[in-house]
Structures are given as structure tokens and as C-alpha cells.
Amino acid sequence: MTLNQLSRGQRMPRSERRAQLLEAAQAVFVAQGYHAAAMDEIADRAGVSKPVLYQHFPGKLDLYLALLDTHCESLEKLVRAALAQPDATSGRAKVEATVGAYFDFVTREDAAFRMIFESDLTSVPQVRARLDSLEMACAEAIGEVIVAEAGLSEEPALLLGTALAGMAQVTARHWLAQSAVISKAEATDLISHLAWRGMGSIPRAGQ
């Protein structure tokens, strides 16, 4: 008996049902993209009827936004946790930890990164606002470290924070697409070394 057969018709606590529906929607959105995904397919994957699905989420966009909120929060927490690691005491170590956070995110089994970095819905205002907010939050967190380590003012540090976040996510996705030919540790070290060398050559404030 399949999971769908087991879950169909069973009453579940609302929070558990919601989590089940989001898990099913995640798999469909990643595989099909937003526009090709169908509520019928999501309901079937979750093992519920469409009315049950609509009881929890009025529409497909509501499902997508709920997942996007979760993934954006997850990535921001990863970046902030990386920057706050007790053993990341030097600027170089903080950069490496930050790059590593993006590599960790793209290797998650649920492929959540595709909904953030490869979304086919970026023209929708609600999606765009969430992605912009995430980008700014990560850039600001990284920028705060750059201010402390390099002595730069806030605006240049924010620009560099944006650049580091962009470099980390692009290279992490490229590394994954190339079937991780080199190890994650080696890839993280290469990118963080490049980033830190570049930042180290920038004159400090007042110089």
C-alpha cells in the first residue's frame, strides 16, 4: 500500500496535513515549475482530494508563497548561523563559513534552492518582494561582518555583501550542476579564498 493510499481518507491534525501538502507541493514545483504544476497533481501526490487541498490553501500561489517563506527563512538562518559560528573568528573564516552555507543549501534533498534562485515566478510582486527581502537580509548580515573586519563604511560593505552572496549561490549551483566533480570542501575553499583575497585588496576606510 502506497503512502498516498494510506493518507487518503485519514484525518490528520491540521498542522500535520499542512506539512504533508507543502511537502507534496514542493516536489511538484521543483519537478514541473510553477506554471506547469497542477493542483490535481499536488493533491494526488499528497493523497488527498482537491477540496481538502483547497481547505488549506485557496490557490496554487498560496502554496508557492508558503513554501517560499519557509525556504527564505531557512537560507537567511543558515547565513546568519555561519557568520556567528564560534570557530569562525577571523574574517577569512567567516567568508568561508558563509560560502559554505550556500553550498549546504543547494545540496538539500528537497532542492529548495530552485524555488529561490531558479524561480519561474519572479515577475509576480509577492514573489519578487520575498526574494528581494532575502537578498537584502543576507547582504546586510555579510556587510556587518565586512564593516567590522575591513573597516569599510556601510554602503560599500553592503555592496560587497551582495557580491559575496551572489558569487556563493551562483558557484554553488554551478558546482552542483557539474555533478560535484570536486568535493564540496574544496569548492568552498576555492571560492572563499578568491573572495577573501579580493576583499583584502580593498583599501580600508581612511587609507
Q: DSSP of 112-160, one letter per residue?
A: THHHHHS-S-TTSHHHHHHHHHHHHHHHHHHHHHHHHHH---HHHHHHH
Q: Which of 19-33, 67-81, 178-192 has the lowest mean pLDDT?
A: 178-192
The DSSP code for 2 is -
Task: Extract the C-alpha cell encoding 193.
Answer: 579564498
Q: What is the mean pLDDT of the chain?
A: 89
Q: What is the mean pLDDT of residues 78-83?
A: 95
Percent of the chain predicted with pLDDT > 90: 73
Q: Which of 68-72, 76-80, 85-89, 156-160 has the lowest mean pLDDT?
A: 85-89
For residue 186, name the pLDDT band (cuts at 50, 70, 90).
Answer: very high
Amino acid making up residue 189: D
Provide the pLDDT for residue 49. 94
Task: Extract the C-alpha cell encoding 203.
Answer: 583599501
CB of 20 closer than 8 Å to CB of 12: yes
Task: Extract the C-alpha cell encoding 53.
Answer: 487541498
Q: What is the mean pLDDT of residues 54-62?
A: 96
Measured distance between the N- and C-terminal CA atoms of the chain, rounded to whole angstroms = 70
For residue 204, name the pLDDT band (cuts at 50, 70, 90).
Answer: low
Q: From residue 157, how far is each of 32, 96, 150 by CA, in Å? A: 38, 17, 9
Whether 170 has a pLDDT exceeding 80, the answer reads: yes
Whether 67 has a pLDDT exceeding 70, the answer reads: yes
Amino acid making up residue 194: L
CB of 64 closer than 8 Å to CB of 25: yes
Provide the pLDDT for residue 5. 46
Q: From residue 14, how far is each of 11, 51, 56, 156, 197 by CA, in Å? A: 9, 14, 8, 47, 51
Domain with CATH 1.10.357.10 in the chain: 67-200
Domain 3-58 in CATH 1.10.10.60: yes
For residue 4, name the pLDDT band (cuts at 50, 70, 90).
Answer: low
Whether 166 has a pLDDT exceeding 80, the answer reads: yes
Domain with CATH 1.10.10.60 in the chain: 3-58
67-200, which class in CATH?
A: mainly alpha
Provide the pLDDT for residue 151. 77
E-strand stretches of 10-108: none
Residues 48 and 71: their CA atoms lie apart, in Å, by 24
Provide the pLDDT for residue 197. 82
Whether 12 has a pLDDT exceeding 90, the answer reads: no
Tell me if the pTM is above 0.75: yes
